[in-house]
Structure formats: C-alpha cells, structure tokens
Amino acid sequence: MNGKIIIAIDAMGGENSPYKNIEGVSLFLKKNYKKNDVFFNLFGNEHLLRRELIKHKIPIDKYKIFPTNTVVSDEETPLTAIKNSKESSMWHSINSQILSNSNITLSAGNTGVLFVISRMLLKTIESVSKPALAGLWPNEKNMNVVLDLGANVECDEKNLIDFSEMGAALYKALFPNDTPKVALLNIGSEEIKGTESLKKAHARLKEISIHGDFEFNGFIEGNKITNGESNVIVTDGFTGNIALKTAEGTAKFITDSLKKSLASTLLSKFSIIFSYFAFKKFKEKLDPRKFNGAIFLGLKGPVVKSHGSTDAVGFYHSVDLCYRIIKGDLMNKIKNNLSHINEDAK
C-alpha cells in the first residue's frame, strides 16, 4: 500500500485506558522510528490523551485527537450500546473509516458491542453473510490464522468457504513470503468424517483451491493445529471459541506448573541458573501478549480487537498487527479471493 497508514484507536476502551493505549502507541513508534508512513487518529478524553502523549514524547505530527464524551463499558449490552454509544470513543473510531479516512480501527473495549457497531457502521462485504473473528496462534513453523473464534455459533458450508478465503487473505497479508495452507477443523482427518456442512465445504474447497489462493490440506484434528503443516485453521465460532479457551488454559497450566516445579527444591532453583536462556525463550514463545489482537473479517473495513486486560506491550502488538494488515493490503486480497467463489458459482 502507498501513502500514510492511518490507524484509528479507541483510546478509552479496555482496562487502564488511555494509559496503556498511548504507551503501546509509543512503543510501536520507538520500535519503528524509521517508518514515516503511519499516523494515528486518537479518540477519547482530550485532557487525558494530551497528558499521556506529552509524557511519552510522541511527536505531534504522528497523531490527531478527536475528543469524545462517553466510553462503552464492559457491562454494556450491544442493544443498549447502539442507543447510547453514538458519542463514544468506540463509535467514532469505527466511524472514522467512513468520515476521516482511517484505514483500520483498534479497540480494547467490549467485544460484543465492538462487533455489533462495526457491522452496523461498516456493513458486510456483499457476498459475505457472516463476518468472522480471526486470531493468531503460534505453531512449530511460524503462525496460524484461526477462525471463527466466536462471532458465529452456527455456520453452514458457505460460511466455512468464505472463512477459508478470508483467512487465507489475512495470512498472505501478514506473511507475504509464505503460502496459506487451509484446513478444516474436524473430529478426524478422513473425508467420510464430520457433519454434512464440513463434508460439503471440504469438497468445494478442493475445487476452489485451483485458483491458487491457498493450498487445501483437507481436515485437521485438534492435536495437529500447532504442527505447522496447515496455517489457516477454519471452524465455526462455537468450536473455535472452545478450542481457543482450551489452548489458553493449557498454556497457562504448563507455564504455571513449570514455575512451581522449578521453585520446589533448592536443586531445581539452582538449575535455573544454567537453563535461564532456554526458559526465557520458552516463556517468550508462549507470551500471550505477542498474539494479542483478533480481527473481524468480512466487513468493508478492518477492525482489530485487543484483549481488554492486556498491558502496554500487548497493546503495542495489536498496533503492529494493524500496521501489517494495512501494509499487506488485506481488503483487496479478501475481495480478490472471494471473487473466485463467485466466479465458480456462475
């Protein structure tokens, strides 16, 4: 993409805002100080934002403040938010893609409200009936894109096919030197297993893969998600959300158990000295802050959801994800991929 990348930030969304949000922006700018192609539209309490921006010495040519009056709370339901949030930092940050030339929106606020407002303001891409929530998971070779992670409890074969094309486009935008390899999450790898929707999606994806948008690897079982043979894992939101929470819980159990074991005896504590760098590398690989940021796919504009309780480092990784999404020309890649579905359907 040419020109400035303009990232709209709901600076009041999530815990400890706007402090972690602005610090996250500061970390991004420090790590990318040579890049002159990024600009931030910041939405929130003007007094608090200016104080934090001055504190972190963020250059004034890197941002514009849009004062807002209200904040969407974590307890608010999507229905009440639609009525009451039109002056909120979340609403205006999303709407800035229409009114202020923002390329992408980032918020750590209420997920349900963010999804509903995003869909209402930005609308879905014409051929997409259900937007999906995609996230990044580490694998043995690089990274997975996994979707849907909870936006849609029930999905038919068309939804799964749309998710496959959109997930492949996201993977290509983030990792332009790699090939998207799509697999459908199932209870077995054999073609005879699974629901009718999965079987129909499997047959259709084999046909569509001839366009070269992705390699199709068929079905994948849950215990193979992290082996790296496939890197775009597609499922319905019910299954995807359970898989996500299970993976998060398992990772926490392993790291917590390891810490307890290493601190249990004097000998194990002493052994840490010799294994410090190995344990540090292990901890960094599973640091959830590095994978902070879920992406709404299927809307006419991209929206990224940061975890509400993350810290400045986690928010920095979400900012970086936004930058890479626009730099990788995600929206045009999605449109190109989806056009192949429509072509084959004629």
Q: What is the pLDDT of residue 79?
A: 79
**339 in a domain, yes or no?**
no
Residue 69 sits in the same domain as residue 204:
no
Of 251, 271, 296, the last residue of a domain is 296
Residue 255 sits in the same domain as residue 314:
no
Domain that holds residue 69: 1-128+298-331
Q: How far apart are CA 139 and CA 105, in angstroms?
A: 27
Residue 277 sits in the same domain as residue 180:
yes
- pLDDT, tens digit (0-9, with 9 covering 90-100), for 296-327: 999 999 999 999 999 999 999 999 999 999 99
Whether the predicted pLDDT of 17 surpasses 90: yes
**340 in a domain, yes or no?**
no
Q: How far apart are CA 29 and CA 57, in angstroms?
A: 11
Q: What is the pLDDT of residue 285?
A: 63
Q: Which residue has the higher pLDDT, 73 or 34?
A: 73
CATH number at residue 173: 3.40.718.10
Residue 308 sits in the same domain as residue 268:
no
- pLDDT, tens digit (0-9, with 9 covering 90-100), for 330-343: 999 999 999 988 66
Whether the predicted pLDDT of 1 surpasses 60: no
Q: How far apart are CA 72 and CA 91, in angstroms?
A: 9
**122 in a domain, yes or no?**
yes
Residue 170 sits in the same domain as residue 281:
yes
**To the nearest whole number, what is the mean pLDDT of the chain?**
90
Q: What is the pLDDT of residue 175?
A: 96
Q: What is the pLDDT of residue 65?
A: 97
Structure tokens at 322: 């936004």
Q: Which residue has the higher pLDDT, 258 or 164?
A: 164
Q: What is the pLDDT of residue 118?
A: 95
Q: What is the pLDDT of residue 271?
A: 60
**213 in a domain, yes or no?**
yes
Residue 166 sits in the same domain as residue 313:
no
How confident is the model over 274-301, as a mean pLDDT? 74
Q: What is the pLDDT of residue 262?
A: 66
Q: Is the dihedral of CA 12, 17, 18, 21 positive or negative?
A: negative
- pLDDT, tens digit (0-9, with 9 covering 90-100), for 94-145: 999 999 999 999 999 999 999 999 999 999 999 999 999 999 998 988 999 9
Whether the predicted pLDDT of 279 surpasses 60: no
Residue 113 sits in the same domain as residue 150:
no
Q: What is the pLDDT of residue 217?
A: 96
Q: What is the pLDDT of residue 325?
A: 97
179 backbone dihedrals φ, ψ, rounded to 5°: -100, 125
Residue 311 sits in the same domain as residue 173:
no
Whether the predicted pLDDT of 172 surpasses 60: yes
Residue 144 sits in the same domain as residue 21:
no
**342 in a domain, yes or no?**
no
How confident is the model over 173-178, as a mean pLDDT? 96
Q: What is the pLDDT of residue 84?
A: 81
Q: What is the pLDDT of residue 74?
A: 83
Q: Amino acid letter at 132? A: A
**336 in a domain, yes or no?**
no
Q: What is the pLDDT of residue 273?
A: 59
Q: How far apart are CA 30 and CA 9, in angstroms?
A: 18
What total number of domains does the chain contain? 2
Residue 85 sits in the same domain as residue 228:
no
Residue 111 sits in the same domain as residue 171:
no
- pLDDT, tens digit (0-9, with 9 covering 90-100), for 222-275: 999 999 999 999 999 999 999 888 887 887 787 777 777 766 666 665 565 556
Q: How far apart are CA 29 and CA 145, in angstroms?
A: 26
Neighbours of 98 (CB within 10 A): 13
How confident is the model over 43-50, as a mean pLDDT? 97
**338 in a domain, yes or no?**
no
Q: What is the pLDDT of residue 35?
A: 78
**236 in a domain, yes or no?**
yes
Residue 79 sits in the same domain as residue 98:
yes
**C-alpha distances in angstroms, 149 versus 27, 60, 146, 164?**
28, 37, 7, 13
Q: Amino acid letter at 54? A: I
